[in-house]
Structure 1
Amino acid sequence: MDLDPGLTLLRPLGGFFVLRTPADGPRAGTPLARAYGDGDALDLRVRHVAGALRTGEDRVAASVAQQGLAARLWSVTLGCAALYEAVPDLDPELLHWDPRASAPGDLWLGEARVRPADAETVAAVVLHGHLEPLAAALGRRHRVARGLLWGNAGSALAAAARRLGQWAHAHGRADAAARTRALTAGLLAHPLLAGTGTLSGTAFRRHSCCLYYRVPGGGLCGDCCLTRPPRSSPHAPSG
């Protein structure tokens, strides 16, 4: 199936699944390739998230920022794979991002080139095209543990799949739900994501902590490896 110019089938799924295209008109933003390269937009995003969460811990804000972007990338690709049986080529040179936007964040793709929706292609598009350079940039500039970041990526993938599966079942789209399950299982078996957590049905239990409990008023996420927030927060495990 081809992708329609406005990717309109994604819109009923909610904001995390929306991808703007030229059909929506011109948009401002930073190409993600530049963000990964010079890091300035990433630093801006981390500061923006830190302010929103009222945290002075740089690595906490960096973790939340990375997981949010991972969730957007996974949601778009999984949604397209399930509903179009194809995915857009999210070339980091063509995919624009506004680091100042509120969650879930705005993504705008300059050209929607169609690629197949198999796990190998999606891994190339999202894992190698985005999450590897994103992890490298955040590791250099914000000293976030790579295990934590890959745990975030696995968690974001499972959450996007769960939301998509719920929508598919509610709308009688057993075919879309089946494609989502198969693709998610294939992606979680990828060497970069294998070992990040355990998937049981739609429930995911990660093997690292995203540090959200360190946000003022925050707690443990539903898929956290911890059963209670550590008492000694300054030296808590980071994944």
Structure 2
Amino acid sequence: MDGAEPGALRRALDDIARINPFFEVPDAPAGRVRPLADLWRDPAHLEARVAEARARLAAGARIAPERVEARVAASLFFQGAAARLLSPAVASLLCHGVLADPESLGWRTDGFGSPAPARIGDRAHTAGPDGAAAALHRHVLAAVLEPLAGAVHALVPVAPRLLWGDAASALAGALQALARARPATAAAASRTGAELLAAPPLAGLGGPAEPGAGVAESFVRTTCCLYYRLPGAGKCGDCALLGRRPAAGWGGGALSP
């Protein structure tokens, strides 16, 4: 995996932003962005962002914030952050062979209701389709989501396995959206998802719901994000509480280091 050529990251991000808002990574507004690491290095900052998520959920359910369980807010906050990171990451890799280095990204602070990434630098890595899973594992799961999950767990007593199930769901959602928007990536998307879901920290947390399907076509998780615990809320389409399980015999792939 080598450093990307100058301008490659910007070109990739400009292209994939057309898929849907979850894939957007705009240039950072001056003075309105914080480094990714602030969420796990600054407990007060993380606490404030989770509190914002709790307030949004309460407003949507038309209840007081204190009626939203802290672990529900923490879970959905983490799932949102994972989705906003993984969506552009998988798309830039599978469409352009480029992946932003975590130091090139920050969190926008200009009124966004959930963590939204922005580009603050040009450092990026390159990887072909066969190396996409390893690149995502190293630069997104291990470098960003692992310390963030640890910080969220330290703030709110929500199970680490549940948080990683949120990440697995976010990954599957990103792969499915990408495969629909860019059909040429569908096979690589399913293969990448299978490799990541076969290795820690995502192993055992989900897989295709239908025999013979790929991760980018059909997915069910083995944990629950707790969204159903909000008044009036239902269960997500990939929720384990709907009684479905990954297809029998599905074992994913093997993630190369």
The alpha carbon displacement at 1:71 in A equals 0.5
- TM superposition score normalised by structure 1: 0.84
Q: Which residue of 2 aligns with 1:107?
A: 117
Q: Which residue of 1 aligns with 2:178?
A: 164
**Secondary structure of the equivalent of 1:63?**
helix
C-alpha contact (below 8 Å) 1:82/1:180 kept by paired residues: yes
- Segment drifting more, 114-123 vs 207-216: 114-123
Q: Which residue of 2 aligns with 1:40?
A: 44
Amino acid at match of 2:15: L
Q: Which residue of 2 aligns with 1:20?
A: 26
- Picking from 221, 231, 234, the partner of 1:219 is 234
Residue 136 (structure 1) aligned with residue 141 (structure 2): no
| Aligned-residue CA RMSD (Å) | 1.9
Amino acid at match of 1:131: L
Cα distance between partner residues in 2 of 1:216 and 1:101 = 24
**Secondary structure of the equivalent of 1:87?**
strand
C-alpha contact (below 8 Å) 1:13/1:164 kept by paired residues: yes
Gaps of 5+ in 2: 59-66, 244-257
Amino acid at match of 2:113: S
The number of equivalent residue pairs is 218
Amino acid at match of 2:198: A
The alpha carbon displacement at 1:146 in A equals 0.4
C-alpha contact (below 8 Å) 2:40/2:148 kept by paired residues: yes
C-alpha contact (below 8 Å) 1:213/1:220 kept by paired residues: yes
Q: Superposed, which structure 2 residues align to 1:1-239 within 5 Å?
A: 3-5=8-10, 7-21=13-27, 26=30, 28-54=32-58, 55-91=67-103, 94-98=104-108, 101-103=112-114, 105-117=115-127, 118=131, 119-169=133-183, 174=184, 176-199=185-208, 200-201=213-214, 202-227=217-242
Amino acid at match of 1:207: T
- TM superposition score normalised by structure 2: 0.79
The alpha carbon displacement at 1:4 in A equals 4.6
Cα distance between partner residues in 1 of 2:57 and 2:231 = 7
**Secondary structure of the equivalent of 1:13?**
coil
- Of all paired residues, the percent bearing the same amino acid is 37
Gaps of 5+ in 1: 229-239
The alpha carbon displacement at 1:51 in A equals 1.0
**Secondary structure of the equivalent of 2:54?**
helix
**Secondary structure of the equivalent of 1:195?**
coil
**1:121-173 Cα deviation digits (max 9, x unpaired):** 2111111111110110011111110010010011110010000001013xxxx
Q: Which residue of 1 aligns with 2:61?
A: none
